[in-house]
Amino acid sequence: DAKTTQPPSMDCAEGRAANLPCNHSTISGNEYVYWYRQIHSQGPQYIIHGLKNNETNEMASLIITEDRKSSTLILPHATLRDTAVYYCIVRVNYGGSQGNLIFGKGTKLSVKP
Amino acid sequence: EPEVTQTPSHQVTQMGQEVILRCVPISNHLYFYWYRQILGQKVEFLVSFYNNEISEKSEIFDDQFSVERPDGSNFTLKIRSTKLEDSAMYFCASSEIGGITEAFFGQGTRLTVV
């Protein structure tokens, strides 16, 4: 089972920041936090990942709390095309890890005009 | 931008028939995966493949399933004798290396078993 807890759904106004929370209270020291999204049954799309520092890329920012028990994905200016299911996944990175991802139910983000 | 390509986009097959789902991973990627998603349910890991052998598989990936990299570009998933419950979207993914790099997913093949 997934080791994360996410709200099942959220709404966001177009042009505003979307802040998607994720709880991962049992995360261990060698586990990374990954975010993927799935737009209407398309293949999942990688967004961002982090270990303990905050991360930013062209798509989003990832804020991880100091105790690493929760994180927030931030889409700074949500557009209608950001409507999707967002998955928060914790994954061990050990030598030889094959990248298997355990998906939960995610958060369905609806961006509204 | 390079992408993972899957064919066909939709396949309908009769129960008990064999099906082969095809994938062309990104060319310089070394790790390949299959996932499936039954309608309305979670995306589920099936199998990972590296260096011409299975490296990990889930309990879903039983003897009815097999994977193969028949040449330098294709990666296939075979279901030997399809069941109604095999109806799902099947996603192929690839990554450059294992570990923390991101996996790139194809657009999926919708398999319908009738």
Nearest to A32 among B44, B100, B104 (CB): B100
List CB contacts of B68: < 8 A, sequence separation 6 or more: B75, B76, B78
Has residue A98 got a pLDDT over 60? no
The pLDDT-based confidence of B1 (bands split at 50, 70, 90) is: confident
**Which residues in chain B touch residue A95, judged by CB atoms under 8 angstroms apart?**
99
The H or E element containing residue B70 is none
Has residue B49 got a pLDDT over 70? yes
* Cβ neighbour number for residue B13 with a 10 Å cutoff: 16
Which tens digit of pLDDT belongs to each residue from B53-83? 998 899 999 999 999 998 878 999 999 999 9
B-interface mutation test, from A47, A100, A101, A103, most B Cβ less than 10 A away: A100
Has residue B22 got a pLDDT over 70? yes
Nearest to A49 among B42, B89, B100 (CB): B100
Amino acid at B23: C
Which tens digit of pLDDT belongs to each residue from A2-50? 689 999 999 999 999 999 999 999 998 888 899 999 998 899 999 999 9
- Dist CA B47 CA B83 (whole Å): 19
pLDDT at B100: 55
Q: Are A96 and A45 in contact (CB under 8 A)?
A: no
**Which residues in chain A touch residue B101, judged by CB atoms under 8 angstroms apart?**
99
